[in-house]
Structure 1
Amino acid sequence: MTINCKGKLIDLSSPKVMGILNVTPDSFYDGGVYKNDSEILNQVENMLNEGATFIDVGAYSSRPNANHVSEDEELKRILPIVNSLLKSFPDILLSIDTFRSEVAKQCIEAGACMINDISAGKLDNNMLQTIANLQVPYIMMHMRGTPQTMQKQTSYDNLVKDILFYFSERIATAKTLGIIDIVIDPGFGFAKTLEQNYELLNKLELFKMIEKPLLAGISRKSMIYKKLGTSANEALNGTSVLNTVALQKGASILRVHDVNEAMECIKLVESLNV
């Protein structure tokens, strides 16, 4: 299984790590932590040195009940970061975490290589056509509603079956437009209760039937720290445990705050398959 990033084929048969870079003031774990360009560059350099294949940059917090941010504000936050990262790390593979087609377009034109859309095109009717025009890899996530309303939309007839149907419809639509490289993300924490997140992880191997690379975004989420009665700051060990489970069930990409620990999970799990 491969995806084409700026002419470079990335082989996902061996799992890869995507490092998270939130340039928002209100993300649940690292919001507002970077005070200037120097701190951002240092963090990205560390993640690349630790083994991250991709860096996922987001300027719109998608945590439950996050404040809505205008398109202009999102662009104002993210474009200077994209330009700065590409200037400092010319070979970097930047993923852009956005559900807006104009943000996607401008960031790809600036040199990013992939779009990570929490809505799979459902929050911007122009997104799928934009991706088709740009011919870049597209991560489509399962979510209902918006970040502001999603936690009120957790009623399913059959959780996994409903999400599989969602992806089959979204992928079919994307394919008709000519989108080639698609990665699926079941959306842990998005329109799902604590119990549903664990049901989803427990049955994650069922998503192999879609025959697309699978991204797992579990890092430091409330499904870990609420279960343990701790906090996001104390959720690294739990993240490693659940990342290990995700890898054993077929995850191709781990989207994480802590790259080194995720790389260790991959190395150890791959040792079991020798």
Structure 2
Amino acid sequence: MSTLRGRVAGLPEWDRCAVMGVVNVTPDSFSDGGRWFDRDAAIKRGLDLVAGGADLVDVGGESTRPGATRVDEDEELRRVIPVVRDLAAEGVVVSVDTMRASVAERALAAGAVLVNDVSGGLADPAMVPVVAAAEVPFVVMHWRGFSEDMNSRAVYGDVVAEVLAELRSRLDAVVAGGITPERIVLDPGLGFAKQAEHDLALVAHLRELRSLGRPLLVAASRKRFLGRVLAGAEGSPPPARERDAATAAVSAIAAREGAWAVRVHEVRPTADAVRVARAIEAAA
């Protein structure tokens, strides 16, 4: 039920865990290797995701895979804005995945209705004021630094307690910056400054993260920890595109644990998974 997952002011209300489809307008995404880098291909991909069951589409122009270097502002704008504009014109609920306030502002003007900032507003001090002024929803992710060196920051004594505390601190800061709590979504940041055991622990304790009182976005799709699980003790992780069944499994778990939405690259398996989870929830 929506009361279990939380309501996000400014967005549609779904009666189950929502599905956020991903469009990476990048040449170096870990998950799809640039398949949607071309503008027309990216737009078609977004529409295909909606046809496959996505409730909203997250458009990003900067890879945040471990070790990735940042693109400049002009290039990010060139990649993202036409795709956001055309998808919004088709009636798609569009989120913009960016750490830059300028990109967020231009994307909102082009029709985006949600800002998904993997830095939670830390990368660009102008981000929180821009989102507050626009009065739009904002995803605050747990973040410890840029991709170039985030793996070195994956040091925890108690990952659940530390992520909970750091997210709470960031939530307080964002609210103090003028974004109303009702517009804030929290994301535990799976794969960002985390090793496989950290990601698994966070998925196992999603209910504790919900104690922060805001809806949760869970973005496990195709990530390294799934590859490690599938590989077993001695094997090699399967390629990212062969992790969609594992992704759907996490989506079902997240849905049962009350996540507001899951963010995925391949929509259909997860769209089915969250609907089954909702049916089981209704039968309980």
Q: Aligned-pair distance for 1:120?
A: 0.6
**Which SS does the other structure have where 2:8 is aligned?**
strand
Paired position in structure 2 for 1:199: 201
Distance 2:88 2:276 in 1: 32
Q: Specify whether residues 96 and 35 from structure 1 end up closer, same or farther in structure 2 by C-alpha distance, changes over 3 A only.
A: closer
Identity of aligned residues (%): 34
Matched letter for residue 239 of structure 1: T
Equivalenced residue count is 269
Distance 1:110 1:241 in 2: 34
Paired position in structure 2 for 1:120: 120
Verify: 1:54 aligned to 2:56, yes or no.
Answer: yes
Verify: 1:179 aligned to 2:183, yes or no.
Answer: no
Which consecutive residues of structure 2, in runs of 5 or more, have no partner in the other structure? 1-5, 232-237
Contact 1:12 1:213 in 2 (8 A): no
Structure 1 runs of 4+ with >3 Å offset: 35-38
- Which of residues 196, 208, 211 in structure 2 aligns to 1:209? 211
Distance 1:31 1:83 in 2: 23
TM norm structure 2: 0.90
Distance 2:120 2:21 in 1: 20
**Which SS does the other structure have where 2:175 is aligned?**
helix
Deviations 1:13-36 (A, max 9, x none): 521100000000001012310263
**Which SS does the other structure have where 2:140 is aligned?**
strand
For the aligned residue pairs, the C-alpha RMSD in angstroms reads 1.4
Contact 2:96 2:107 in 1 (8 A): yes
Paired position in structure 2 for 1:255: 263
Distance 1:109 1:12 in 2: 25
Verify: 1:264 aligned to 2:272, yes or no.
Answer: yes
TM norm structure 1: 0.94
Paired position in structure 2 for 1:219: 221
Paired position in structure 2 for 1:99: 99
Q: Aligned-pair distance for 1:85?
A: 2.1
Contact 1:2 1:13 in 2 (8 A): no
Paired position in structure 1 for 2:24: 22
- Which of residues 239, 250, 253 in structure 1 aligns to 2:247? 239
Contact 2:99 2:117 in 1 (8 A): yes
Q: Aligned-pair distance for 1:149?
A: 1.0
Matched letter for residue 257 of structure 1: H
Verify: 1:3 aligned to 2:8, yes or no.
Answer: yes
Which consecutive residues of structure 1, in runs of 5 or more, have no partner in the other structure? none
Verify: 1:64 aligned to 2:66, yes or no.
Answer: yes
Paired position in structure 2 for 1:109: 109
- Which of residues 39, 42, 45 in structure 1 aligns to 2:41? 39
**Which SS does the other structure have where 2:68 is aligned?**
coil
Distance 1:211 1:12 in 2: 18
Deviations 1:99-140 (A, max 9, x none): 111111111112111100011111111111111111110001
Paired position in structure 2 for 1:84: 86
